[in-house]
């Protein structure tokens, strides 16, 4: 059975801190790993990773994938209160040409001023 596990499940830090969110996976037919940010409603796309060792960056956020050890991390530097959200990790597989995402439980990040 395909499985994606995120840790920690919950994290509370102060504004300005740096945080690292973890995602490990066990899936057949791996195609990609995606990170989403969910504030109240719709998850919004952050990164899609397909190759090991290549860091993707967007402002204060960055992510990297290790396909040998089957994990990914999402880093957020100089955190702001607007970074408070649930961060979802998902692994993409393909079934009959359709993308299927297997999601982790999410990490609830709270940034205190």
Partner 1 sequence: DGGITQSPKYLFRKEGQNVTLSCEQNLNHDAMYWYRQDPGQGLRLIYYSQIVNDFQKGDIAEGYSVSREKKESFPLTVTSAQKNPTAFYLCASSFGQGQRRSPLHFGNGTRLTVT
Q: How far is the CB of 39 from partner 1 (least distance, A)?
A: 11
- Write the secondary structure of 49-91 as one string of H (helix), E (strand) and C (coil): ECCCCCCEEECCEEEEEECCCCEEEEEECCCCHHHCEEEEEEE
Name the one range near partner 1 by CB under 8 A: 12-20, 57-65, 66-74, 97-105: 97-105
Closest by CA position to 101, among listed 110, 92, 109: 92
Return the residue matching tokens 């596990």.
Answer: 5
Does the protein bind partner 1 through residue 21 (CB under 8 A)? no
Site track 33-52 with partner 1 (rule: CB under 8 A), x = hit: -x-x----xxxxx--x----
What are the tokens at 81?
């209160």
The region of 13-21, 66-74, 77-85, 104-112 touching partner 1 under the rule CB under 8 A is 104-112
Q: Is 77 in the site for partner 1 (CB under 8 A)?
A: no
């Amino acid at each position: 059975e395909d499985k994606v596990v995120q840790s920690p499940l919950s994290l509370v830090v102060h504004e300005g801190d740096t945080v690292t969110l973890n995602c490990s996976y066990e899936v057949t037919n791996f195609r990609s790993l995606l990170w989403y940010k969910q504030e109240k409603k719709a998850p919004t796309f952050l990164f899609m990773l397909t190759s090991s060792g290549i860091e993707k960056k967007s402002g204060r956020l960055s992510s990297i994938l290790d396909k040998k050890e089957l994990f990914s991390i999402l880093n957020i530097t100089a955190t702001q209160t607007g970074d408070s959200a649930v961060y979802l990790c998902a692994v993409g597989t393909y079934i009959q040409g359709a993308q299927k995402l297997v999601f982790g439980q999410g990490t609830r990040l709270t940034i205190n001023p």
